[in-house]
Structure 1
């Protein structure tokens, strides 16, 4: 079972920062997961639409300029990074799952430009990139324009037709919340040729259940601890 560092090693370092992502690489996580928003012409790495929880700022993210956002403390004196900066820090060290949050279909070209630049400058291997979103229209548009990118279809519920929606999106993987994933969903997804990744999984009891029902990967806030839990289960 693969382990992704959820927003980096967010249990220890400030989430969605270079510190958290480097810690994930040091912990030998299979991959990192982070969120991007399009703000003021830039793709920035942050989860919330509001600044209050994770930065020294306040209010709506989109009501600030890029220059204003760069003045904020994102934890331990770090700044809110751009997608380009994160790719520079971790390119080809692990799988990179980019969750597209504050983006519209017309913003896709900016994403492609950033990834193409990283491929040229950093020798970024697109096989290590996984683009995911709850916005399935966005995923559909990406597939139509750039089918070479692997897609992760997100759901926060248990759909009536299980993983059919992800198959219809030509996704590589389906990402489902830990509260709703079940053996039937995993079986259905696997029969459709999909990987099943589950968020957010930190407790030993949840890791054990994920192993029992056969999920392919989990998103954990502390990937090193999650791996220790998994190792204990594998020894039994």
Structure 2
């Protein structure tokens, strides 16, 4: 199984910061970030629609310019990084998972990515339209549909969005879902797994990879159990 560092490595560093990504890069196969646009159209890594929870600022992300966001403390003195800065940080064969948080931002995000494509790139979203648009704009990338709620036909929804991956919340994963996805040619990459018990159950279910808040803890477990498997190349 391959490991995705969720928001970098949010268990050990402030989420979606360069510090968290550096910790994730040390142990994960890919690191994941959430992308939104600033007021002046710059893709930055932040999960929420507002800066209130993760910084010392207030208000919507899209209400701030990049210069204004640069003055905020995102935890331990870290700043909200731009996608450009994230791409500069990547090295070796570590891949990137980009979660598109807002429909309509796909073209700007892809235009930045195309200037420096990571070795491996997953473009993922809760929004099927964003998944389909990402595939249209960057056909060589693997794209994935994230879901957390019960849905009648997640595989059908993923196929209609031209997805290569499904990313269910961990409690939505079953052997039946894994088998059906694999039969349809889809990777199964659930989130967020943080315990040895969850890692072991994921291996028994035959999932392809998983997101975790502490990639180094997950890496140690996989190595001890002989469960490592490389992430698919872009």
Taking structure 2 as the reference length, the TM-score comes to 0.90
CA distance in 2, matches of 1:145, 1:220: 28
1:30 aligns with 2:29: yes
**Which runs of 5 or more residues in structure 2 are unaligned?**
228-234
Match of 2:78 in 1: 78
Match of 2:145 in 1: 153
Match of 2:19 in 1: 19
**Which runs of 5 or more residues in structure 1 are unaligned?**
none
Match of 1:194 in 2: 186
CA distance in 1, matches of 2:154, 2:94: 29
Deviation at 1:223, TM superposition (A): 0.8
Per-residue CA distance 1:98-117 (angstroms, 9 max, x = gap): 0000x333x33212221122
Match of 2:59 in 1: 59
Match of 2:230 in 1: none
CA distance in 1, matches of 2:175, 2:15: 31
How many residues are aligned here?
226
CA contact (8 A) 2:97 2:123 kept: yes
What root-mean-square deviation, in Å, do the aligned CA atoms of Structure 1 and Structure 2 show?
1.7
Structure 1 stretches of 4+ moved >6 Å? none
CA contact (8 A) 2:103 2:129 kept: no
SS of the residue aligned with 2:171? coil
Taking structure 1 as the reference length, the TM-score comes to 0.89
- Give 1:229's match in structure 2, choosing from 215, 221, 224: 221
CA distance in 1, matches of 2:11, 2:86: 19
Deviation at 1:158, TM superposition (A): 3.7
CA distance in 2, matches of 1:198, 1:142: 20
CA distance in 2, matches of 1:50, 1:206: 31
Alignment of 1:107-146 (within 5 A): 107-119=105-117, 124-125=118-119, 128-146=120-138
CA distance in 2, matches of 1:25, 1:143: 25
